[in-house]
Structure 1
């Protein structure tokens, strides 16, 4: 499950690496992101995305599977997993959060919450500004990633609606204790193994803050820190694939 302002495109290398290990990987685009539609009446929220996951799983006829979540795809993924524990074979958690009550958006995302400021920031996301953010927050080194690949993120974000669905979602984060409590069973006393895979140099969701959060609320079988930043699927995809494969053997 992808986060923001990304899409399933972030998983393209990881899917290939998993395929080489004999795994069929599926990466979906949440409504409003990537190649998905952007209906005006969709519930752009953690709850809405969790319900979308459930519909996708039903349509794809997935019985049991290994779930991978990242960034803002974490809370919807946890909510889904908590309600459908019988479908989860393993859970791999990449640079995200579960304590929605106490979560504070990173400074670069905070303006999106507010009228006018959000519209201004959304409009300012272009190839140049995204390249800077991608290089400083997303990865340790962008040398092995083409400028064309980096630019695709902007094209996918602003496709059709110029990013308005993304803005709706950013203004609709559920920070209630009820929603947090509905997510906790995804990592607490689970019938499946759970692991944390963290880009250790992430300046937005820092390992020293968020890893203990998961250890506080649930049971974690493995914690793996990798030399990357927030978009770790871009540069340590083979290591992530290996960790998912190894967890699947438990």
Structure 2
């Protein structure tokens, strides 16, 4: 595929790859050689959010970073389900297509309930897990979050997402502890893939999923013991204003053996602390 004109090839110098799925073309990055690392993004981001880690780690590892359907450079089909479970199916299809073995799985935001389903289904093929500001449990008890999700599921919320690009214009900046890291040029790379209302279906469906997908999230959490034997690193932006800090404690209670690195960063710590995130991953893998 050709690069869109708005894509800065200095910021994002990676070769384009696509996988034909039943619902559309999934774009992904496949850089470097060695033990495979699979990076799974959330919303409203895409593989661009991992660019600093991809540049650094692809010198010694094979780094794969897909764009979910509805995000980044992937197709944005009107008739795709856009549920976390549907995205998880696509991720598994990509891993199978590339015949990846003994992977390190790196997940962030909605990439957690998307990517960790693969780990639960195929723990024998996951060598290590790296968890950044995400979850894998029902959010039903998070009253404020449920209230917001119910509002966003309604007519006004849908209008804000579909017509106002609410996720990329409003929520993304709120996810930064230091707004200076979100330059106009970087912000443009999150706005451009969501230029038209039909392009924003994926971001709105994730907002709805915070409430509707709770049975799926709960099902994942019930299986958490399957991940016990897998070495884990948790890298947490402790200044996250989108996800509560007590979620980090929940991970630590479930997996007290996990190595934990906290950074003075917001939700999008890959952006604010790009080098430190890459260094923490490399140290863990070594």
TM-score in terms of structure 1 length: 0.85
Distance 2:116 2:226 in 1: 11
Alignment partner of 1:225 out of 262, 271, 284: 262
Asked if the contact 1:187–1:218 (Cα under 8 Å) also holds between the matched residues in 2, the reply is: no
1:24 equivalent to 2:62? Answer yes
1:103-145 residue CA offsets vs partner (Å, 9 max, x unmatched): 6438776632223332234322379x82x6444x222324355
Indicate whether 1:13 and 2:52 are aligned. Answer: yes
Task: Describe the shift of the 1:38–1:187 C-alpha distance in structure 2 as closer, same or farther (beyond 3 A).
Answer: farther
Equivalent residues in 2 for 1:91-106, closer than 5 Å: 91-102=129-140, 104=142, 105=145
- In the alignment, is the contact (CA less than 8 A) between 2:162 and 2:197 conserved in 1? no
* Match in the other structure for 1:174: 213
Residues 78, 186 of structure 1: 8 Å contact kept: no
From the superposition, tell whether residues 189 and 61 of structure 1 become closer, same or farther in structure 2 (CA, over 3 Å). Answer: closer
Does 78-87 or 236-245 show the bigger shift? 236-245
Range with bigger deviation, 69-78 or 165-174: 165-174
Contact 1:98/1:214 (8 A) holds in 2: no
Residue in 2 aligned with 1:114?
A: 154
Q: Specify every segment of 5 or more residues in structure 1 that has no aligned partner in the other structure, as ranges.
A: none
Residue 235 of structure 2 is matched in structure 1 by: 197
Distance 1:236 1:53, change over 3 A: same
Query: Retained in 2: the 8 A contact 1:111–1:121?
Result: no
Greater RCO (CA < 8 Å, at least 6 residues apart): 1
What's 1:82 paired with?
Answer: 120
Counterparts of 1:71 and 1:97, CA distance in 2: 7
CA contact (8 A) 2:130 2:234 kept: yes
Structure 2 residue matching 1:143: 3-state secondary structure = helix
1:57 matched to 2:95? yes
Could you tell me the TM-score, scaled by structure 2's length? 0.75
1:150 aligns with 2:150: no
Structure 1 contact 67–88 (Cα < 8 Å) conserved: yes
For structure 2, list consecutive stretches of 5 or more residues without a partner in the other structure.
1-39
User: Does the residue aligned with 1:166 lie in a helix, a strand or coil?
Assistant: helix
Shift of 1:189: 5.1
